């Protein structure tokens, strides 16, 4: 009998080890099931959309960046000490709430606002980093928005910036915006935008 006990002991240890492994496996599986709120695989049809529903929309409007005067819509909120002597204003950041209009005339119908910021991100040319939303207020796009994140080399005839997302009508969108300077003076820059987006 004394010789039997030592032979059982290793088997019992192995059994305890196996039970521990199974307990951990069950805990991980259970935890994964409880964490399903964090991630879930969906098919577009579950959200009521299909590839056949995708369309391409072209939007055309004018952006008014008013940097001084009583109707100022763009305000510098930050700058580095060296921004004052930089030929490009490198390091300065401007917050904006610019009207978007149907035509180049500022008094024409407002179709939305460009809200966000731009910063001088180049030491060698007028190159801005644009981070903004086109928040629309007219027609079927009222309450919807497009998000722009990209480089804007102001002195180029045409600048292209990516549309990285959107809301409302423009959920799941992708596309690009082309900007062309219409006019510029000490008080206001008027920029013509052509925006092309795929959306559902």
Query: Mean pLDDT across the chain, nearest whole number?
Result: 87
Does 173 fall in a domain? yes
E-only strand ranges, 123-187: 127-136, 145-153, 159-167, 174-184
Does 18 fall in a domain? no
The reported pLDDT for the residue numbered 89 is 95
Does 3 fall in a domain? no
Does 20 fall in a domain? no
Mean pLDDT of 106-117: 98
Overall pTM > 0.75: yes
d(CA 71, CA 110): 15
Residues in CB range of 164: below 8 A, 6 or more apart: 147, 148, 149, 174
Does 192 fall in a domain? yes
Structure-token pair, residue 176: 């690009």
Does 10 fall in a domain? no
The reported pLDDT for the residue numbered 14 is 61
Structure-token pair, residue 142: 């009222």
Chain segment 163-176, per-residue pLDDT in tens: 999 999 999 999 99
- Specify the residue for token string 């606002």: 113
Does 16 fall in a domain? no
Chain segment 70-87, per-residue pLDDT in tens: 999 999 999 999 999 999
Domain range for 74 is 52-199
Structure-token pair, residue 120: 């001088």
Does 121 fall in a domain? yes
- How many domains are there within the chain? 1
CATH of the domain at 56: 2.40.480.10
């Amino acid at each position: 009998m004394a010789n039997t006990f030592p032979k059982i002991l290793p088997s019992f240890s192995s059994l305890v080890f196996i039970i521990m492994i199974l307990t951990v496996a069950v805990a991980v599986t259970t935890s994964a099931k409880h964490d399903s709120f964090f991630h879930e695989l969906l098919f577009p049809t579950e959200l009521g959309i299909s590839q056949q529903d995708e369309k391409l929309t072209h939007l055309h409007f004018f952006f008014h960046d008013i940097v001084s005067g009583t109707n100022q819509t763009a305000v510098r909120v930050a700058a580095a000490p060296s921004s004052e002597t930089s030929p490009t204003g490198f390091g300065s950041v401007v917050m904006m709430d610019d009207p978007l209009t149907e035509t180049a005339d500022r008094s024409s119908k407002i179709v939305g606002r460009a809200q966000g910021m731009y910063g001088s991100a180049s030491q060698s040319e007028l190159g801005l980093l644009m981070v903004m939303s086109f928040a629309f207020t007219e027609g079927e796009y009222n309450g919807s928005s497009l998000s722009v994140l990209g480089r804007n080399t102001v002195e180029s005839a045409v600048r292209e910036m990516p549309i990285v997302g959107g809301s409302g009508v423009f959920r799941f969108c992708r596309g690009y915006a082309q900007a062309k300077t219409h006019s510029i003076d000490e008080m206001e820059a008027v920029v013509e935008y052509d925006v092309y987006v795929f959306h559902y």
